[in-house]
Amino acid sequence: MTDLTPLEARAEIETLTAEIETLTAKIKAHDDAYYQNDAPTISDGDYDGLRHRLLALEAAFPDLVRDDSPSRRVGAAPQSGFGKVTHAVPMLSLGNAFGEDDFREFVDGVRRFLKELADDPTIPLEMVAEPKIDGLSISLRYEKGVLVQGATRGDGATGEDVTANIRSLKELPQKLAAGVPDVLEVRGEVYMAKHDFMALNQRQEKDGKKPFANPRNAAAGSLRQLDTAVTAVRPLSFFIYALGEVSDAIADTHWGVIEKLKGWGFPVNPLAELCADTQSALAFYERLNETRAGLAYDIDGIVYKVNRSDWQARLGFVSRAPRWAIARKFPAEKAMTVVNDIIIQVGRTGTLTPVARLEPVTVGGVVVSNATLHNEDEIARKDVRVGDWVIVQRAGDVIPQVLEVQLGKRPKNSKPYKFPDTCPDCGSHAVREEGEVAKRCTGGLVCPAQALERMKHFVSRETFDIEGLGGKHIEAFMADGLIKTPADIFRLSEHETAIAGRDGWGDKSARNLIESINERRTISLDRFIFSLGIRQVGQATAKLLARQYGSLRAWRDAMIAAKIHGSEAFADLTNIDGIGPSMAKDLIAFFDESHNLEALGDLQSQLDIHDFIAPDVGASPVAGKTVVFTGSLETMSRGEAKVRAEAMGAKVAGSVSKKTDYVVVGSDAGSKARRAAELGVTVLTEQQWLEIAAKAD
């Protein structure tokens, strides 16, 4: 443009203005034909072409954007962000395997779970192997063949409505041919190809904007744009690899599903392969690992999926990942850099973690300036010192770690690192309990660092998920005494004016924050339990507790009663399959602290905590009943028996007590069957149990 004379520039602008006007009119006419009259007059591809051209021009010449531009109509997203979408079927993540052993373990686990495979090693376990695309997952919903919604994954249960942005994806079928299920949700990965990423970053730099760290970030930043016009000019691609809600089953294997999707016009990864056995699955990994550098896009591993849909259904899920799939990651990327400092981070339960502050270095496309040194023993074993040259390694989204020291480059006067005996934050003693690797601050409730981390955990995505309240805000609010306990967050509305007056805030952002806090006053019991940040109580344990006790009151009363060793409440707690004595100890310790009970009561007054909702099990006769499986069963593994019982609303316990309703005995059942007889608990054969299960189906 700089080469143009003023006259030429003027002519150019007039031409562009005219083109934009014509495009606007054409798109409007096609929109009316499509939406109002249900009778499109051009192909989806041609329509996309028009929109694409318009949005590209608008992005390049923002001054020329017309008030009646179609981009304003769809792009006029609410200022507060994207709308929310509740996923009809949750969007899950995947378990990771790092190396061949992990992968084999996954296969063995599947074979153990599906009893017929455990019994007969000659039955092959077919798997589909697909490249693991390093992008962000999306869900596309079609109703009667028409795209109605595009959503990001979000926390898996609720994502963001990015429909307007999704429509600008080049390969997106807007309308599907007849014959597809009425409701069809397809899922996949949006990504940016490597060359597109490089070109985008060059443009960013030329325009004086910050370049993106890697193609994944660029893809996420481009899709999650409130301004649709920006998304439209960013070169995004996608692959579909899974289903969400569907009104009719599509195929009885994953491979079959993929073929169908391909036939319907969705881009599916051409490298995917159906592997007849473990051997070919392993070979696929080796092949891709060799050739991946030459691919047009980044992949960070291979995803393996059990092919048979009925087996997938039986295998089900463990917390947030399917039991029928796994991601085998490629080996980590490495780089060398200098340790500038070693600091100690205090976790929410007091764990002291040494962290190396590094001279920033790019590891596999990502700038790394911190790496974990794990714990006291590890730092001593590797003898990492300030000033050392070290090899750092980064695998996927796992925290980078220091692998080893380059002893030959060690500065002469360096001194071994001495792990502190006190908490760097509150000065309390740091102790290491027997058998533990972690040193822990004993400051508990008085340690500000622990309080800060607990609070960050409390508002994080998996717990209260309060939008707009990040770690930095929490830190600042705590430093100024605006919040001291978690319940204070729900009283922040009293300080709205004060917040609005703070640096970096304003009336609008303060209002938005209060609104997003108010939106989160309702929470499920399991999420609430997890939010408390009790030691060892992760998401899966929180779910177990919620399922067992049902309501906050019942749980709290039981935890207080369990303090008495040998009490029935203690036995009930440790009887829950998945809760051991050490976890029980931490739970009891939490409830033994009067501060915690006060904080709980305070939270209760601010919140609406929903009782655990048992899965919809119809008229299952076993819902709410406690069952113990013992001995080896005939038709299913104990693992599968447990999962199926839980799906019917039953609780599965590890040992027999007066509270047990049924003991299901297989062959060679031992002491548990005897104990059931002693206590007069109903004993069922596997056959009888299956009959009950059949009634529930």
Q: Which residues contact 422 (CB under 8 A, 6 or more apart)?
A: 428, 429, 430
Considering 132, 305, 456, 543, which one is annotated as catalytic?
A: 132
Structure tokens at 125: 């376990």
Q: DSSP letter at 652?
A: E
192 binds ligand IVH (CB under 6 A): no
242 binds ligand IVH (CB under 6 A): yes
Q: How far is the CB of 21 from ligand IVH (least distance, A)?
A: 41
Which of 94, 478, 617, 647 binds ligand IVH (CB under 6 A)? It is: 94
Q: What 3 state SS string does 303-318 have?
A: EEEECEHHHHHHHCEE
* Cα(390)–Cα(385) distance, integer angstroms: 9
Structure tokens at 317: 């899920």
Structure tokens at 30: 């096609």
CB-nearest residue to ligand IVH: 137
Binding segment for ligand IVH among 130-138, 256-264, 277-285, 472-480 (CB under 6 A)? 130-138
Q: Which is nearer to ligand IVH, 221 or 322 (CB)?
A: 322
Which of 34, 82, 197, 241 binds ligand IVH (CB under 6 A)? It is: 241
137 binds ligand IVH (CB under 6 A): yes
* Cα(464)–Cα(460) distance, integer angstroms: 6
* Cα(151)–Cα(561) distance, integer angstroms: 45
Residue given tokens 């934009």 in the structure block: 20
Sign of CA dihedral 676, 680, 681, 684: positive
* Cα(59)–Cα(196) distance, integer angstroms: 17
Q: What residues from 506 to 525 belong to the interface with ligand IVH (CB under 6 A)?
A: none
Q: Which is nearer to ligand IVH, 130 or 646 (CB)?
A: 130
Q: Which is nearer to ligand IVH, 215 or 322 (CB)?
A: 322
130 binds ligand IVH (CB under 6 A): yes
Structure tokens at 93: 């993540």
List, as own/partner pairs, every contact residues 676-681 make where C-beta atoms lie below 8 angstroms and the sequence separation is at least 24, other chains included.
676/628, 681/656
Write the binding mask 37 to 76 for ligand IVH: x where contact by CB under 6 A, - elsewhere: ----------------------------------------
322 binds ligand IVH (CB under 6 A): yes
Q: Which residues pair with 329 in a beta bridge?
A: 301
Q: Which is nearer to ligand IVH, 17 or 539 (CB)?
A: 539
Binding segment for ligand IVH among 43-51, 79-87, 273-281, 320-328 (CB under 6 A)? 320-328
Binding segment for ligand IVH among 132-140, 142-150, 160-168, 669-677 (CB under 6 A)? 132-140
Q: Which residues pair with 253 in a beta bridge?
A: 308
Sign of CA dihedral 361, 366, 372, 378: negative
* Cα(401)–Cα(404) distance, integer angstroms: 9
175 is catalytic: no
Q: How many residues bind ligand IVH (CB under 6 A)?
A: 14
Which of 325, 447, 499, 552 binds ligand IVH (CB under 6 A)? It is: 325
Which of 125, 327, 447, 669 binds ligand IVH (CB under 6 A)? It is: 327
Cα-only R_g, the chain: 29
Structure tokens at 335: 């780089």
Q: How far is the CB of 79 from ligand IVH (least distance, A)?
A: 28
185 binds ligand IVH (CB under 6 A): no
Residues that bind ligand IVH (CB under 6 A): 92-94, 130, 132-133, 137, 189, 241-242, 303, 322, 325, 327
Mind telling me the catalytic residues?
Answer: 132
